[in-house]
Structure 1
Amino acid sequence: MTTAQRRSVRRAATPTVGDLLRHWRQEARRSQLDLASATGVSARHLSFVETGRARPSRALLLHLAEHLEIPLRERNALVLAAGFAPAYVESDLGAEHLRSAREALAHLLEGHEPYPAFVLDRWGDVLMTNRAAPLLLRGIEPALLAAPNAYRIGLHPNGLLRRVREPAPWIAHLGQRLTRALRWSGDPRLAELLAEIRSYPGVADVLDARPDLAHQELLLTVTLADPAGDLSLHTTVTTFGGPHDVTLAELAVESFFPADPATRARLHSAAPA
């Protein structure tokens, strides 16, 4: 392969700012004319930006990204592709300037007791839990808890899945959640994670069947086998709006609620003193 050919391959493998902008516009199901009208930008200029005939300003890209509701990490990628500095900082959750955010999360988790709750990052890694969380982790293979990830814990055959009374809806719920996150972001780590969970027994079959979970989008009910009696739980995922830090913007809190009086009583009786 010649030097020119290698350069051509590299250029093809690296999306331009126009490629990225077109991707996000199409993901949002917006036409060029619609987006131009909503943002006060010339449709001709928007077309030129997407085709590489015009170089956009950083302010224009961030303006368009706001209207398209592009995640903060991907907004940074957009402006970087245009040769500008990132617009949003990405901090470690343990950073001193995020102490108030950590305290707020801890307060939220504690306030949810005696029901389990977890703080997750973009990839489903478990960052924080409350004292009720171990109730859901009983019998899980220790290796899965060494670097806990909600998707692995939930779908691995030696994880929570072996306690789930009706596995298919649970598999579909987690699998489709991960698939949506990957489709929206294109994150390679999420792609690797999806490939991994699809390799678990039975997971790919359920996901390929494309079950309709529209009626369960806001509130999934899962029943878990437990020595003290089955636990019937609703689960919801809450995300945070408004932060200008990539880390905070990507956090989610997964909360479990009792779905029947018997489960409520068991969770209260098992609550830490």
Structure 2
Amino acid sequence: MSSTYAQKSVGTELKHWRAVRRVSQLELAVQAGTTQRHLSFIESGRSRPGRAIVIRLAESLGLSLRERNDLLTTAGYAPVFAESGLDEAALRPVRTALEQILHGHLPCPALVIAPYGRGVAANDAVELFTEDASPELLEPPVNMLRLMLHPQGMGPRVANLDEWGRHVIENLRARARRSPDPRLDAFVAELAGYVPQSPVGPDHLGFSVPMRLASADGELRLITTLTSFATATDVTLAELHLEAFLPADQATADLLRVRAERRNAAPSGSDS
């Protein structure tokens, strides 16, 4: 009974992911190095897939490491990708490397974000984003995406919140389409409520414009770079991404340098 249930479950999951990825049985079979007949038997529950073919199918579907583990579990096999805590010994070298990368981005803000916007590491320049923010939004663990768009966070200081916020939300929606997740859908809906719904004008170019952020030192224009860990074999690391904000003009570069010099000159323990 349990074997039949596993067969039906893995078949249902494969059909689900094929629909999400919009690939046919034949296309997936060719990519995974099997036959359409074999894949059809797996999806219908007439054949129990071996561990190797489940791994190949998951890879061919472009599933995340977490989703690959889930598919293996559904098929009756143990997960193959570890999920370590960032503070565990297995990821300590990675954590050290991330801290070095963050420091190397100074005087520009840079941070490491986990799923659903949770910040796990940042450099000192991220204080630019916490300026005048509500204390409730700064209680750890800080949700950086919420902080950036919330009306009691950065939202009122982003002069082009409608354009820049739309870019953030559309990126999340694209992720949700690729990996359907009710929790992510709810988070996107929350963030969308913070962003003004302005019509797309004739000058819209279809990609993100620099964020125009007001600060005590003047307006900064920042462009974003996103880095993911594409070859990671640990679920935790694969789900992180590094977000760095770079100056879009010389005036912003100068302001970031001034702020860094002021932080470095402040007495140890000072909040100024």
Q: Which category of TM-score, normalised to the shorter sequence, fits these structures?
A: 0.7 to 0.9
Deviation at 1:156, TM superposition (A): 1.3
1:8 aligns with none
Q: Which amino acid aligns with 1:175?
A: I
Deviation at 1:48, TM superposition (A): 1.9
Write out per-residue CA displacement over residues 141-163 of structure 1, whole angstroms, 9 at most, x where no aligned residue. Answer: 11111131122112211111111
1:255 aligns with 244
Deviation at 1:127, TM superposition (A): 0.2
* Match among 177, 181, 191 for residue 171 of structure 2: 177
1:216 aligns with 2:232: no
Question: Whole-Å Cα distance in 2 between the matches of residues 106 and 167 of structure 1?
Answer: 30
Write out per-residue CA displacement over residues 171-230 of structure 1, whole angstroms, 9 at most, x where no aligned residue. Answer: 2111112212222222333233223324x3445x46xx689987426xx41101112110
Question: Whole-Å Cα distance in 2 between the matches of residues 197 and 38 of structure 1?
Answer: 37
Write out per-residue CA displacement over residues 40-85 of structure 1, whole angstroms, 9 at most, x where no aligned residue. Answer: 2010111222222222112111111112221001111111111211
Question: Whole-Å Cα distance in 1 between the matches of residues 240 and 204 of structure 2?
Answer: 24
Gapped regions of structure 2 (runs ≥ 5): 265-272
Question: Whole-Å Cα distance in 2 between the matches of residues 171 and 186 of structure 1?
Answer: 21
8 Å contact from structure 2 (residues 86, 95) kept in 1: yes
1:158 aligns with 152
2:269 aligns with none
2:143 aligns with 149
Question: Whole-Å Cα distance in 1 between the matches of residues 71 and 204 of structure 2?
Answer: 33
Matches within 5 A, 1:97-136: 97-136=90-129
Q: Which amino acid aligns with 2:210?
A: T
Question: Whole-Å Cα distance in 2 between the matches of residues 231 and 76 of structure 1?
Answer: 43
* Match among 46, 52, 56 for residue 49 of structure 2: 56
8 Å contact from structure 1 (residues 173, 213) kept in 2: no
Question: Whole-Å Cα distance in 2 between the matches of residues 252 and 213 of structure 1?
Answer: 27
The two structures have a TM-score, normalised by structure 2, of: 0.86
- Count of matched residue pairs: 254
Between 1:71-80 and 1:33-42, the stretch displaced more is 33-42
Matches within 5 A, 1:1-273: 16-146=9-139, 147-198=141-192, 200-202=193-195, 205=197, 215-216=206-207, 220-271=209-260, 272-273=263-264
Question: Whole-Å Cα distance in 2 between the matches of residues 51 and 261 of structure 1?
Answer: 61
1:3 aligns with none
Q: Match of 1:193, SS?
A: helix
Deviation at 1:23, TM superposition (A): 2.5
1:5 aligns with none
Q: Match of 2:227, SS?
A: strand
8 Å contact from structure 2 (residues 117, 143) kept in 1: yes
Write out per-residue CA displacement over residues 218-262 of structure 1, whole angstroms, 9 at most, x where no aligned residue. Answer: xx4110111211000001211011111000011100110000110
8 Å contact from structure 2 (residues 128, 215) kept in 1: no
Do the aligned partners of residues 57 and 214 (structure 1) sit closer, same or farther apart at CA in structure 2, a change above 3 Å counting? Answer: farther
Q: Which amino acid aligns with 1:54?
A: S
Deviation at 1:22, TM superposition (A): 2.0
**Paired-residue identity, %:** 42
Deviation at 1:16, TM superposition (A): 2.1
Q: Which amino acid aligns with 1:129?
A: A
Question: Whole-Å Cα distance in 2 between the matches of residues 191 and 30 of structure 1?
Answer: 23
1:4 aligns with none
Q: Match of 1:195, SS?
A: helix
Deviation at 1:30, TM superposition (A): 2.0
